[in-house]
Amino acid sequence: MALISVGLTHEGADLELLDRMTVLEHHWAKVVRALVSHRNISEAVFISTCLRTEVVAVADRFHDALDDIVATLSLVTEVDRSEFEDHVSVHFDRGVATYLFEVAAGLKSVVPGEHEVLGQLRRALDLAVDERTAGPQLQALVTHALSAGRRVRHDTAIARGTTSFAHAAVETAFDFLGTDEGVDVLVVGAGQLGAGVVKNVVADSRFSRVLVANRTRSRAEGLREEVRDERVEVVDFDDVDALAARARVTFICAELAEPVITLHSLGSSSQPRLLVDLAVPRGVERGANDLPGVTRVDLQTMRQRVDAALDDRRGALEDARVIVREEVDRYVDEQRARGASGVVSSLRGRFDDIVATEWERRRSDLEGLDEETRALVDSLVRGVVAKIAHRPTVVLKESAGTDPGARLADATRQLFDL
């Protein structure tokens, strides 16, 4: 059984393709069930965010698994595989661990060190566990990745400064507004990203009102209670289009099946407005930048802004990579040691089964033995078997955690049909 990861990210695909390949979170369960319905895939975790649509799986055969995963992504996104399969990134075995640990550490994010990815990975694993598509192998992998991500943020300066889309988005709004005060802000979405935007916004006094809209109104109200700022108001999600026409700054931070802000509404006012569109897919109808007074920025703009802000954190990025390498080595060693322990246990069990089977098969031939003699023969047989098993057991344990040890474990499984 081998690890494989297949996905599309901002590093290999443009934003338009990523938009089309995004799967809203309430459909993730359907995706993991579809993945494990393939005979070749025994475990699967799926995550789809604004800049990442990814599958991590345990499979029997690499090439068959790759084909099954690509076919499933095509099915659930309704995007023909010919349009995206040349853009997928693929990792195998140890490469999966290295890649996933880098993702958890924030090294693969547009904003290195951002925190949101840890919550996304946690939710993806929890859902896969609930759907029984994540078994021991993927649970161990993702759990260790999350631990590595937390260590990176604790032990390095990677999380200093601009560390999230929320932070970068609000800084963009500050630049747009200049010295203006008494500004109304609309935030669409009260999830992790929307909550981050609201918390960054209320930290600045120039905003007079912060309107929060979410499909589930109670979630927006819960965010208002958490923030405890009298400027925060909860508004109806159905009013977003009209409110965006009047707000100086609008942040769209939600998963959306279609744009919620239209050109028709935006065209009703000519006052300067900023639309920070972090929605997946896009939250603003195409062509907004052509309207008088309207400025729309998207994830690509955020990427450029963050790149400029990272100059003082280059050393922290390398420190983070060192930690990732250490944690990957530790994970691989643990898995190999656990695998060797399982092989040793299975090998001893197989030998015990052989002895028991032979005793049963020769029962009639040994009926004349008294109890003392029978016990002596049994002890002799088991002693011989134990001596035969001793050297393989020692070598397997001593070589656990090494490449030769992994090959020995595989060979033992094949030789003894474990």
* Residue 274: strand, helix, or coil: strand
Longest CA–CA separation in the chain, Å? 106
Crossing angle of helices 403-416 and 314-361, rounded to 10°: 30
Angle made by CA atoms 71, 74, 78, in degrees to the nearest 5: 150
Catalytic residue (choose from 50, 261, 317, 396) = 50
- Distance, CA of 136 to CA of 38 (rounded, Å): 19
- Report yes or no: 46 and 72 within 8 Å, Cβ to Cβ: no
50 is catalytic: yes
Q: What torsion do the CA atoms of 88, 93, 98, 101 make, to the nearest 10 degrees?
A: 90
Amino acid of residue 194: G
Residues whose CB falls within 8 Å of the CB of residue 225, separated by 6 or more in sequence, listed in order? none
Angle made by CA atoms 308, 312, 314, in degrees to the nearest 5: 95
- Distance, CA of 169 to CA of 77 (rounded, Å): 28
How long, in residues, is the chain?
418
Angle made by CA atoms 265, 267, 268, in degrees to the nearest 5: 70
* Residue 174: strand, helix, or coil: helix
Annotated catalytic residues are 50
